[in-house]
Structure 1
Amino acid sequence: MHELIASPFLDEYLLVRPGARGGLRLPQAGYEELRTHPTKQTAPTWFSDAVRSQWTDLDVAARPAAEYLLVREPSGWGYSRASWEINLGCNYQCKHCYLGLKVNSGMPLEDKLRCLDIMAQAGVLWLQITGGEPTVDRDFMHAYRYAFALGMMITVSTNGSLLWRENLLALFRQYPPYRVTVSMYGANKHSYDELTQRQGAWDLFIQGMNAARRARLPLRMSVIVTEDNADEEQAMIDLCEGWGLEYNVFTNMTPTIYGGAESLTAQSKEHLRLRKPFSGCNAGHTFFHTDPHGLVSICKIGRDAQISLPTEGIDGLARLGAIADRLMLRTGGCSGCQLSGSCTVCRPLAKHYQEAKAPLSSYCQHGIKKAG
């Protein structure tokens, strides 16, 4: 299996290494030379020199290119990133979860692999596999290997409860992920089990983290601050720093993807933070989201007007850009807003808050100004 990937990425060409953070920009002429280079021969000298300069532990000068290099073909679709909910099922029942009900349902393996083929054809280089909890899905390992073989740099978003399993660790050793992002729900057993609503969840988390750190997985922590663990924010940060891991802190809860308000009850009002002004994004244009049934939307939040990859194939993506532009228009309660230029949430997220009848102060400048 490949150790390096040369791939188009938007208007650039990249050389990346699974399991590694750094990479190289390739000139178009260099990419084209690699794409047409006989794979049974050694790579050009400039290439092996560049590899050795970037990754000192990797010497490819005397090896046939086919042994270690995968060159991704150009795509006319212009997508570079995607996220995929392999399943909404989860072994936790977290109070704050934006997915709402955790339902174990989805596509058969054949359709999952077909969707991955289409993602690769669309140009996706960076793939986030999420859920629910992705590692509980019966097809996770097979789908992960398949996505890796297609030349994707994979991030797995997980609660970490199963990272102690040897079959998962062996999978990640053989096919290194770009990143494993682990959500953290507390700094002690009581608060962690309370938020996840599962007895023993903390013990599984610590067991998984110990195993993942021993295996030197490329970990990044998502510190989730809620009403249940609000007094432990610094303790959770201290744990991450003690482990020597990167982390991001998330404090603002969002409604469920169905517009439900049940997840908002987990919000710690003291930790509600004013978001930065929304300056636009490329959702639907260079990025898309796929749900467990192969339905594509512009992102995890804006799920209106979904496109079925198993039914429509890659040609269905031609409609996604227009859907994105329509969903970003100010409608409903946001029509004619005089503060829209500095709004802190995108229109699809504002719609979810409105459907959930959330307090304006949780997402809108009008509410924030009034509260102040």
Structure 2
Amino acid sequence: MHDLIAAPLQDQHLILRPGSRRAVKVGSSKFADLCDAVAGGQPVPAWLVDVARRVWGVDASGRPADAAVLVREPGPYELSRATWEINLGCDFDCEHCYLGEKRFEGLDWDGKERLLTVMRDAGVIWLQLTGGEPLIDPQFPAAYRLAHELGMQVELLSNGSQLAKPRMMELLTALPPTKTSLSVYGASAETYDGLTRRRGAFKRFTRGLDAAVAAGLNIDLSLIITNRNAHEADAMRAWADRLGLPYREYANISPTIHGGAETLPSQSPEHLTHRAPFTGCPAGHTFFHADPFGRASICKVGREPNIDLPTEGVAGLARLGSIADSLMLRTGGCSGCQLSSTCRVCRPMAKVFQEAKAPLHSYCQHGMKETAS
């Protein structure tokens, strides 16, 4: 496996190390010098030997450049980031989950291989693997390895239940993810198992977290705060602090992707956060999402219209920017809103709430004003 990745990114050129979040920008002449060395089977250039040693502690001196460095070809668009729900199946059944009914279905291996190749050819450098729970997919190890081999920096979004398994930890230590984001649902077995509706979930998570910490994986925690575990919010924060791990808190629950409002009662009203005004996002322009069937959409929320990547290939992504622009137009109940300049919710998310017939105060400032009065 290659030690370094050389990747063009729009007008920039990056040197990356698989499993590391650090990146080094280099000029076009050095990038061309490296490409020539790789193509000609020459040693790693001296300037890159110095960079690799100084930034990542990697000794590339005297190594053939084509063995040490994988040079990525530029993609035809500006799509450098993607997320992929490898499967929606999950070994937990969290009451707040926005996925709703979690069916274990999706592409076969040939489809998964085709999808990852299309992502590579589209210019994706950073890929987040998620689900459902990605690590329970039987083909996760093969897909994870292939993503690495194709020169993508892979991030995992997981519930951590599988991390203590020796084969899984062997894979992730041999090919470290750039980041592993683990969701935390409580600080005690009673609360954790109750929220996930799975007996023994807390024990499996704790073992997985401890294994990941011991292995030195780059971990951050997502503290999911609901009305069931809000009384343990301080304990969850203290747990993260004891481990010395960064964390973020999520308390704003959304409807399901199927338009169901059954998740909303799990919100803890006193923990809801007020987002900054929405001023736009790169969804559909520099970023896209793929579901278990390889259908590419602008993000996890705005899933329609979408593009069948295994069938259409890279060319299909040319439509994604115009789809993104159309989905961001304020329509329906948001047309002509006088508070649009300070709205905290993107149009696709507002549509999800509206389709779920959610209370206005759960997503809209007009509803917040009515509640306050």
- Fold agreement, TM-score > 0.5: yes
| Normalised-by-shorter TM-score class | over 0.9
CA distance in 1, matches of 2:358, 2:28: 49
CA distance in 1, matches of 2:225, 2:44: 49
Q: Deviations along 1:300-355, whole A, 9 cap, x unmatched?
A: 00011111011211111111111100000000000001111111010000000111
Aligned residue in 2 for 1:104: 104
Aligned residue in 2 for 1:13: 13
CA distance in 2, matches of 1:112, 1:157: 18
Q: Deviations along 1:22-77, whole A, 9 cap, x unmatched?
A: 2211112222221222453212211211222212x212122222232111111112
Aligned residue in 2 for 1:118: 118
Q: Please tell me the residue identity of whatever aligns with 2:319.
A: R
CA distance in 2, matches of 1:165, 1:271: 34
Q: Please tell me the residue identity of whatever aligns with 1:310.
A: P
Please give the residue correspondences for 1:331-370 in structure 2 after superposition, counting only pairs within 5 Å.
Answer: 331-370=331-370
User: Are the equivalent residues in 1 in contact too, given 2:277–2:344 (CA < 8 A)?
Assistant: yes
Please give the residue correspondences for 1:72-111 in structure 2 after superposition, counting only pairs within 5 Å.
Answer: 72-111=72-111
Aligned residue in 2 for 1:147: 147
Aligned residue in 1 for 2:55: 54
Q: Please tell me the residue identity of whatever aligns with 1:54.
A: V
Aligned residue in 2 for 1:25: 25
- Secondary structure at the aligned position of 2:129 is classed as strand
CA distance in 1, matches of 2:72, 2:227: 46
Aligned residue in 1 for 2:163: 163
Unaligned runs of 5+ in 2: none
Which runs of at least 4 in structure 1 moved beyond 4 Å after TM superposition?
none
Q: Please tell me the residue identity of whatever aligns with 1:183.
A: S
- Secondary structure at the aligned position of 1:262 is classed as coil
Please give the residue correspondences for 1:280-359 in structure 2 after superposition, counting only pairs within 5 Å.
Answer: 280-359=280-359
Unaligned runs of 5+ in 1: none
Aligned residue in 2 for 1:208: 208
Residue 10 (structure 1) shift: 3.2
- Secondary structure at the aligned position of 1:37 is classed as helix
- Secondary structure at the aligned position of 2:31 is classed as helix
Q: Deviations along 1:263-310, whole A, 9 cap, x unmatched?
A: 112111111121111110110111100000111100000011111011
Aligned residue in 2 for 1:180: 180
User: Are the equivalent residues in 2 in contact too, given 1:289–1:297 (CA < 8 A)?
Assistant: yes
Q: Deviations along 1:172-201, whole A, 9 cap, x unmatched?
A: 122111111100000100110010000100
User: Are the equivalent residues in 1 in contact too, given 2:44–2:68 (CA < 8 A)?
Assistant: no
Count of paired positions: 371
Give percent identity, aligned residues only. Answer: 51
Structure 1 window deviating more from structure 2 (3-12 vs 106-115): it is: 3-12
- Secondary structure at the aligned position of 1:293 is classed as coil
Aligned residue in 2 for 1:274: 274
CA distance in 2, matches of 1:11, 1:279: 24
- Secondary structure at the aligned position of 2:313 is classed as helix
Residue 127 (structure 1) shift: 0.1
User: Are the equivalent residues in 2 in contact too, given 1:272–1:362 (CA < 8 A)?
Assistant: no
CA distance in 2, matches of 1:272, 1:97: 16
Q: Do the aligned partners of residues 177 and 277 (structure 1) sit closer, same or farther apart at CA in structure 2, a change above 3 Å counting?
A: same
